[in-house]
Chain A
Amino acid sequence: MTDQIAIVSNIEEKSLIKKNEKRKEKTLDVFMGIDIGSVSLKIVLLDKNNSIIEKLWLRNQGSPIESSKKGIRELKEKLESSGMFNKINIKGVGTTGSARYLIKSVIGGDIAKTEIIAHAVASLTYYPDVKTILEIGGQDSKIIILRNGVVADFAMNSVCAAGTGSFLDHQASRLGIPIEKFGEYALRADSDISIAGRCGVFAESDMIHKAQMGYSKEEIVKGLCDALVRNYLNNVGKGKEIKPPIVFQGGVSYNEGLVKAFEEALGAEILVPEENILMGAIGAAILVREESERTEKISENWKTKFRGFNVLNLEFETKAFRCQGCPNRCEVVSVYMKTGEEDENGKEKKEIVARWGDRCGKWAVY
């Protein structure tokens, strides 16, 4: 009798283990990459083989904190509708882009890496032998030179945003052309006209002048694309050895007119990845996976700092003040998280998640 019970419990135990194993099999470890730039927010979920589980893009309106929460909410909805929500386990979160540190603090990221490294790493996974990456985003442009699968050199545009996405956006709306059609217009042009591309202000007055001389919109758009490429290669690409394979990524790579202008200027094929705008986010996800693997190797202990989808229920508040401690009068920004709990005096509890902007570091919380 006792033996039988033992056997039964043994079987039960075994099946329980099997169930657990099955559940384990079903939950997929994924890594989240968030690229928060000046214009848009990109999120991807990658599994450990770098396959995309989920992705999204949205325009970054107003504050990066609100945008990232909106992004996480959309991501959750997408996962729920595809039935993946309960099947994944977010094992790490990597952020990149100009607001990477802010978003890392807010949603609980594990690493924040620069766009250069993120874009390079992403490109290398799709094109292992890539030698040059051209990247033009909303407000900055960069060139990354790779040799033998490592970043060998890079450059970014310095102060001026002429020739980036925002500038094109502005010119498209001025010409009354939807930005999505910009490339088509350029491809339809019959002849070459030259437009000054060194500075956005000069380019604009040149465009107006050419229009008044009777050139068509198509020709002006093509002239603008050529000017941008010239400007990019002379400034950002100055002194760099641009060797194929060349990959063009970032939002502006949607513009076929620019792709063609680059091909003409460089005399080489330009590769545009399918996920051209997501490359930064993909890179961030890969980087956090690498970081988790490295940490596990050294200390066998990796735990993500991701606050979970619970982050949607949290309220964040930013407050700025001018420190009066010394003549530098630094502007210090604090980011508080409201947990909804109350302290002994019945006041709402606020937890500080980030504070920066001071030069001396006396206020800093990272």
Chain B
Amino acid sequence: MNQTEKHRLKIGIPRALYFYKYGPFWTAFLEFLNCDVKISGPTTSVIVEEGTKDANSELCIPIKIYFGHVKNLLSEFPDLDYIFIPRYVSSHKEQFFCPKFLILPEAVKYGLKFDTPIITLEINVKKNSEHESAINFGKILGYNQETMIKAWDYANQKFEEFQDKAYEGDYIELLDELDTNPKHKRKKKKLKQFIPEAIRGKFMVNILVLGHSYNVYETHINRDLIGRLEAMDCNVTTIEKLPKSEFSEKITINEQYHQYWQSEDEILKTARYYLRDGKNTIDGVIFLISFACGPDSLIQEIVMRDMKKRKISYLDLVLDEHSGESGLITRIESFTDMIRRKKYN
């Protein structure tokens, strides 16, 4: 369907997976093309349940949630013209995204049965330049090359602005601002304060939280990990708080093997940065892993060994749809208490 002056295309974006990373890019890109962008609401238990019902049981929880968000979009906005499901293959010549991102549009199309067409932006620098990706996308909507290149550059600029803002501000709040739907407004949660008032703020601990953006900022499934850590008097830092220049260099695990997965590459670079330049700024590392994630399970071991060598405390937390809250809390409470006793006694 083409975009015309009379009909403004209504395009839905599931708030899952790389929305937590590229959401600002997508929304800016589609808005430049004068589309009416609808985003699914924050993850709820119903979305998780609906997702797990239809997704293949072998998949990781973030993909299952993605299915839930697509269903949620379709029921909340039955008049959507398209559902936007990008295909991330590669954004660096030497690297790939996880194979699940490669097949995402098809997985959703054949996993769920619905009539709304899927529109796909394919990012594959091994095949096309980024501008070519945009031009191909524009063909579906009836836009010429010139407009699409402009749209890409505009979105890229907005994306960088977002990253700069996120560098300073609250990432989750900034992401929420992309969705102007008042029904999706989230109230600030009231979390339990773990530290007695008398000593609150006096024995701070600095924690680096590693993991994919869709695990770290998905507060429903990680049970508000960052908020809880803050309630335990922790200063939390994440991949998004690292200077961008750190991601430009190539990372070598050993002489034969260079990092192959894109997302994992960022995680490893962040970990290595804190082993080197940022060594004295963190007290501990928490690695959030989704159950059944192949790439994560590989580099989890590398990060663990690296941290051990430098005597930085390390904890991995595995997320799945059955993760109970008490197990998670016991672990992070023990972890922060352990660090605090080491640091201040």
Chain A residue nearest in CB terms to B344: A294
Instruction: Give the complex CA separation of A152 and B310 in angstroms.
Output: 12
Q: Is the pair B341, A329 in contact by a Cβ cutoff of 8 Å?
A: no
Q: Is the pair A117, B326 in contact by a Cβ cutoff of 8 Å?
A: no
Chain A residue nearest in CB terms to B45: A328
CB distance from A148 to the nearest CB of B (A): 9
Q: Is the pair A151, B189 in contact by a Cβ cutoff of 8 Å?
A: no
Known interface pairs A298-B199, A359-B189; A152-B313 also in contact (CB < 8 Å): yes
Q: Is B292 an interface residue (CB 8 A)?
A: no
Q: Which of B190, B327, B338 contacts A151 (CB 8 A)?
A: B338
In A93-127, the 8 Å CB interface with B consists of 98, 111, 113-117, 120
Q: Is the pair A295, B338 in contact by a Cβ cutoff of 8 Å?
A: no
Q: Which of A156, A295, A361 contacts B199 (CB 8 A)?
A: A295
In A282-296, the 8 Å CB interface with B consists of 291, 294-295
Q: Is B44 an interface residue (CB 8 A)?
A: yes
Chain B residue nearest in CB terms to A99: B326
Q: Is A159 an interface residue (CB 8 A)?
A: yes
Q: Is B132 an interface residue (CB 8 A)?
A: no
Instruction: Give the complex CA separation of A189 and B191 in angstroms.
Output: 54
Q: Is the pair A150, B189 in contact by a Cβ cutoff of 8 Å?
A: no
Instruction: Give the complex CA separation of A175 and B41 in angstroms.
Output: 54
Known interface pairs A114-B334, A152-B313; A299-B192 also in contact (CB < 8 Å): no
Q: Which of B301, B330, B342 contacts A115 (CB 8 A)?
A: B330
Q: Is the pair A156, B330 in contact by a Cβ cutoff of 8 Å?
A: yes
Q: Is A6 an interface residue (CB 8 A)?
A: no
Q: Is A360 an interface residue (CB 8 A)?
A: yes
| A115 contact set on B, CB distance < 8 A | 330, 334
CB distance from B185 to the nearest CB of A (A): 12
Instruction: Give the complex CA separation of A117 and B339 in angstroms.
Output: 11
Q: Is B178 an interface residue (CB 8 A)?
A: no
Instruction: Give the complex CA separation of A291 and B199 in angstroms.
Output: 10
Q: Is the pair A294, B191 in contact by a Cβ cutoff of 8 Å?
A: no
CB distance from A363 to the nearest CB of B (A): 9
Chain B residue nearest in CB terms to A363: B190
Q: Is A326 an interface residue (CB 8 A)?
A: yes
Instruction: Give the complex CA separation of A294 and B342 in angstroms.
Output: 16
Q: Is A321 an interface residue (CB 8 A)?
A: no
Instruction: Give the complex CA separation of A301 and B196 in angstroms.
Output: 13
Contact with B along A301-319 (1 / 0, CB 8 A): 1000000000000000000
Instruction: Give the A-B pair count, Cβ closer than 8 A.
Output: 85
Q: Is the pair A116, B46 in contact by a Cβ cutoff of 8 Å?
A: no
Instruction: Give the complex CA separation of A328 and B68 in angstroms.
Output: 13
Chain B residue nearest in CB terms to A364: B190
- Size category of the binding interface on chain B: 35 or more
Chain A residue nearest in CB terms to B330: A114
CB distance from B34 to the nearest CB of A (A): 32
Q: Is the pair A362, B190 in contact by a Cβ cutoff of 8 Å?
A: yes
Q: Is B187 an interface residue (CB 8 A)?
A: yes
Contact with A along B202-236 (1 / 0, CB 8 A): 10000000000000000010011000000000000
Q: Is B345 an interface residue (CB 8 A)?
A: yes
| A152 contact set on B, CB distance < 8 A | 311, 313, 338, 342
In B287-345, the 8 Å CB interface with A consists of 301, 304, 311, 313-314, 318, 322, 326-327, 330-331, 333-335, 337-338, 341-342, 345
CB distance from A187 to the nearest CB of B (A): 34
CB distance from A88 to the nearest CB of B (A): 24
Q: Which of B44, B192, B327 contacts A326 (CB 8 A)?
A: B44
Q: Is A167 an interface residue (CB 8 A)?
A: no
Q: Which of A98, A239, A362 contacts B304 (CB 8 A)?
A: A239
Known interface pairs A151-B338, A329-B45; A156-B189 also in contact (CB < 8 Å): no
Known interface pairs A150-B342, A156-B330; A359-B199 also in contact (CB < 8 Å): no
Contact with B along A323-366 (1 / 0, CB 8 A): 00011111000000000000000000000000010011110101
Q: Is A158 an interface residue (CB 8 A)?
A: yes
Instruction: Give the complex CA separation of A361 and B223 in angstroms.
Output: 12
27 contacts between A and B (CB under 8 A): A98-B330, A113-B333, A114-B333, A114-B334, A115-B330, A116-B334, A150-B338, A150-B341, A151-B342, A152-B311, A152-B313, A153-B313, A153-B314, A156-B327, A239-B301, A294-B199, A299-B198, A327-B44, A327-B45, A327-B46, A328-B44, A359-B220, A359-B224, A361-B190, A361-B191, A364-B192, A366-B192
Give the 9 A-B CB pairs with smallest separation, nearest first: A361-B190, A116-B334, A327-B44, A151-B338, A327-B46, A114-B334, A150-B342, A328-B45, A117-B337
18 extra interface residue pairs, beta carbon distance < 8 Å, beyond A120-B338, A150-B342, A159-B322: A98-B326, A98-B330, A116-B330, A117-B337, A150-B341, A151-B338, A153-B313, A158-B318, A295-B196, A295-B198, A295-B199, A298-B202, A327-B46, A327-B47, A328-B44, A356-B192, A361-B192, A362-B187
